Amino acid sequence: MVKIHGAFYLTVGIVVLFYTHYVENKIGSGRLRFFVLVGYLFLVIGIAKILIWFINRKKETKGELGYIGNKPQNVKNHLGYCPRCRTPLRGNENFCYFCGQRLR
Ligand SMILES: [Zn+2]
């Protein structure tokens, strides 16, 4: 999954809304309602993405603290297992965080 930061959506939403507002003032009609809708849609997605990112970041920090001394039962998005103790790993560790087995 390609991660697009919420700030990108937020920026696109703001640009679309400002541009639509500018064009609407020039031609003076309500024909650009669709673009206003798209602009707000991007704004909402952007805010939602930033919120989700913020919540996930908090969860991750808590989760890593919880790993000390107890074996995690279900690690999301793990890429493999430790060859010695079968702990799910995320693939970016040099050593297994449970048993200390060297991984690369
Ligand atoms: Zn291990």
pLDDT, one tens digit per residue, over 44-72 is 999 998 898 888 877 665 555 445 455 55
User: Does residue 14 belong to any structural domain of this protein?
Assistant: yes
What's the CA gap between 56 and 76, in Å, rounded? 12
- Using pLDDT thresholds of 50, 70 and 90, give the confidence band for residue 21: confident
Q: 82: CA distance to ligand 1 center in Å?
A: 5
Contact 62, 46 (CB under 8 A): no
Q: 32: CA distance to ligand 1 center in Å?
A: 58
In the block, residue with structure tokens 């697009």: 4
Mean pLDDT in residue range 4-31: 82
Q: 76: CA distance to ligand 1 center in Å?
A: 17
Q: 56: CA distance to ligand 1 center in Å?
A: 25
Asked if residue 60 and residue 80 are part of one domain, the reply reads no
User: Which tokens is 42 given?
Assistant: 């991007």
Asked if residue 42 and residue 85 are part of one domain, the reply reads no
Say yes or no to pLDDT of 76 above 50: yes
Asked if residue 61 and residue 39 are part of one domain, the reply reads yes
Contact 72, 33 (CB under 8 A): no
Query: What's the pLDDT at 66?
Result: 47
pLDDT tens digits, residue range 83-100? 899 988 887 788 888 899
User: Does residue 100 belong to any structural domain of this protein?
Assistant: yes
Asked if residue 102 and residue 56 are part of one domain, the reply reads no
Domain count, the chain: 2
Asked if residue 43 and residue 75 are part of one domain, the reply reads no
User: Which tokens is 62 given?
Assistant: 């808590």
